[in-house]
Amino acid sequence: MTGNDIALDTNQAIHVLNDVRQAISWLNGFNRLSLPVTVLGELRFGAMKSARPQPNVAKVELLAARCKVLDTRALTADLYAKVRIGLFRKGRPIPENDIWIAAACLEHGVPLATDDTHFDAVDGLRVLRMP
């Protein structure tokens, strides 16, 4: 990564999909946007269960096409296990999908844009929030 890349958590991706100007303006300052595959799955699920699945799935696919998708691999699984055991030992569990998201960001060396403060408990993960 170039050092000016960022991965989107689901809440940030939803801001983009909903055309939240403040989020879009902030994210435009980065060279490349990435989407952990887990986030892409959450977005597709949300679009499919919405009242307007076809246009919402199309919006998700347009966003995905603009981003580098961070796939899950064996190294991601190893990092997932390390993150999860670290959180377990701290007594700071976080949602299961968020552990996968954190592991993908750690693997690819990209910070995570999120509104969720529970990611702060993940050792080594750089978390960025919209100013």
Kindly report, residue by residue over 70-100, the tens digit of the pLDDT.
999 999 999 999 999 999 999 999 999 999 9
> What pLDDT was estimated at residue 48?
98
Which structural domain, as residue segments, surrounds residue 51?
Answer: 5-126
Q: In CATH, what number is assigned to the domain containing residue 105?
A: 3.40.50.1010
* pLDDT tens profile 23-42: 999 999 999 999 999 999 99
- Residue 131 inside a domain? The answer is no
d(CA 108, CA 20): 27
Query: Number of folded domains in the chain?
Result: 1
Question: Is residue 100 situated within a structural domain?
Answer: yes
Cα–chain center distance at 126: 12
Residue 25 lies in a domain: yes
Asked, for residue 113, whether it belongs to a domain, the answer is: yes
Please state the pTM of the whole predicted model. Answer: 0.94
Question: 96: Cβ–Cβ under 8 A, 6 or more apart, which residues?
Answer: none
State the pLDDT at residue 1: 42
Tokens of 33: 């946007």
Tell me the C-alpha to C-alpha distance, in Å, between residue 109 and each of 15, 16, 27: 23, 22, 17
Q: What is the mean pLDDT of residues 42-57?
A: 98
Does residue 2 surpass a pLDDT of 90? no
- Tokens at residue 124, please? 């080594």
Q: What is the per-residue pLDDT for 3?
A: 63
